[in-house]
Amino acid sequence: MCNAKERVFQKLMGKETDRIPNLNIVMLFAAREAGVSFREYCRNHEALARGNILCAQRYGIDVVTTMSDPMREAHDLGTEVEFPEDDVPYAKVSLLADKSRLEKLRLVEPSNGRRMTETVRAIEFYKREVGNDYPVVGWVEGCFAEAADLRGVNEFLIDLYDDPEFIHALLEFCLEQAILYARAQVEAGADIIGVGDAIASVAGPNAYQDLAGEYERRLLTAIRGMGAKTKLHICGNTRPLLEWIPFDVVDIFDVDWMVPLEEVRKYSGTSVLSGNYDPVAVLLQGTPESVKQAAEECTQKGGSHYISSAGCEVPKFTPPENLLAVKEYLETR
């Protein structure tokens, strides 16, 4: 019998484990379980950490993470962010609505930021409280995702075609900021750094082949150079992107529910796949029996390099018995 940290790292090294690790992503669900508003969860590192630890211990999740929302870096760079009481923070106005502002934008050291500093504090809290028992997962926005956060999604997608010079300058800035942020988290004790790049699946295969995949590679390579493992999370349908995803520098790849695991396996090499039952149809709307069935089907398709998880975040109002069903399945299979 091993603990969660040993279990995850044995899997990443291709070794036999006592059971398949459980890497379900909890954010809104964790805040609800901890009895705090999502506003508090996003803004207070101790609320975030305690919510994650509670879910890890209660539901058999094998990591603790700093994930909450995509606005941490953008907020510290100067974006005016709205924090709803119980929903995801969002930009009131895009920082680069006027793209000429990029020339005056300066990198922010995570130690001098507001919300990036809270991330570092969460990692330090984890290392003190559970660092020997659970792997600590830090998080940064991928370059495409951060560029869209700063510029605005629609404007960014238009700029991809209308203003490639601006796009390259923006992506280079986002890469430098992400590396700074990742390094601060690794130095604080993060074992794994996740990179969230959801917009990459929306931009499409041409933009991914030409830009997004290469910037992911540069960021993931830098993270590996810091001594951390890497996790790549691209929400949505990544099937058109699979042949260009930089699997050679990805230790864990999150597979969303609409992408067949066996198809990803043709490209993923020794990367560990995490996924990918439907978080809504299975976890939120299903029953413990249907959850176990879905987890079993994914386990069979995932192969030896596989970690159990829903395709994306556990929905806020998921019945606790359904998330417990994943734990029960993995412990008894």
Q: What Å distances lie between residue 13 and 118, 182, 186, 233, CA to CA?
A: 31, 22, 20, 20
254-293: burial string, b at 16+ Cβ within 10 Å, e else: bbbbebebeebbeebeebbbbbbbbbeebbbebebebbbb
Contacts of 147 (CB under 8 A, 6+ apart): 156, 167, 170, 171, 174
Question: In which band, very low, low, confident or very high, does the pLDDT at 333 lie, cut at 50, 70 and 90?
Answer: confident
Q: What Å distances lie between residue 181 and 174, 177, 323, CA to CA?
A: 10, 6, 32
CB atoms under 10 Å from CB of 150, counted, come to: 28
pLDDT at 113 > cutoff 90: no
Segment 200-219 mean pLDDT: 96
Instruction: Please state the separation of Cα 194 from the chain's center in Å.
Output: 5
Q: Residue 210's domain is classified under what CATH number?
A: 3.20.20.210
Element (H, E) at 171: helix 164-188
Rounded to whole angstroms, how far apart are CA atoms 44 and 29?
A: 16
For residue range 114-145, list pLDDT tens digits in order.
999 999 999 999 999 999 999 999 999 999 99
Rounded to whole angstroms, how far apart are CA atoms 3 and 154?
A: 44
Question: In which band, very low, low, confident or very high, does the pLDDT at 37 lie, cut at 50, 70 and 90?
Answer: very high
For position 1, what pLDDT does the model report? 78
CB atoms under 10 Å from CB of 160, counted, come to: 20
Tokens describing residue 228:
């951390």
Question: In which band, very low, low, confident or very high, does the pLDDT at 5 lie, cut at 50, 70 and 90?
Answer: very high
How far separated are the first and last CA of the chain, in Å rounded?
A: 15
Sheet of 136-141: strands edge to edge? 64-65, 136-141, 192-196, 229-233, 252-254, 272-277, 306-310
For position 89, what pLDDT does the model report? 97
For position 34, what pLDDT does the model report? 96
Share of the chain above pLDDT 70, in %: 100
Would you say 229 and 12 are in contact if contact means Cβ atoms under 8 Å apart? yes
pLDDT at 6 > cutoff 90: yes
Q: Which of 278, 277, 234, 226 is nearest to 252 (CA)?
A: 234
Residues forming beta bridges with residue 273, ordered by sequence position: 253, 306
This prediction has a pTM of: 0.96
For residue range 272-331, list pLDDT tens digits in order.
999 999 999 999 999 999 999 999 999 999 999 999 999 999 999 999 999 999 999 999
Question: In which band, very low, low, confident or very high, does the pLDDT at 112 lie, cut at 50, 70 and 90?
Answer: confident
Q: Average pLDDT of the chain? A: 97
For residue range 242-267, list pLDDT tens digits in order.
999 999 999 999 999 999 999 999 99
CA angle 196–181–95, rounded 5-degree value: 75
Helix, strand, coil content of the chain in percent (nearest 5): 55, 10, 30
Number of independent structural domains in the chain: 1
Which structural domain, as residue segments, surrounds residue 324? Answer: 4-332
Share of the chain above pLDDT 90, in %: 98
Would you say 24 and 309 are in contact if contact means Cβ atoms under 8 Å apart? yes
Would you say 101 and 156 are in contact if contact means Cβ atoms under 8 Å apart? no
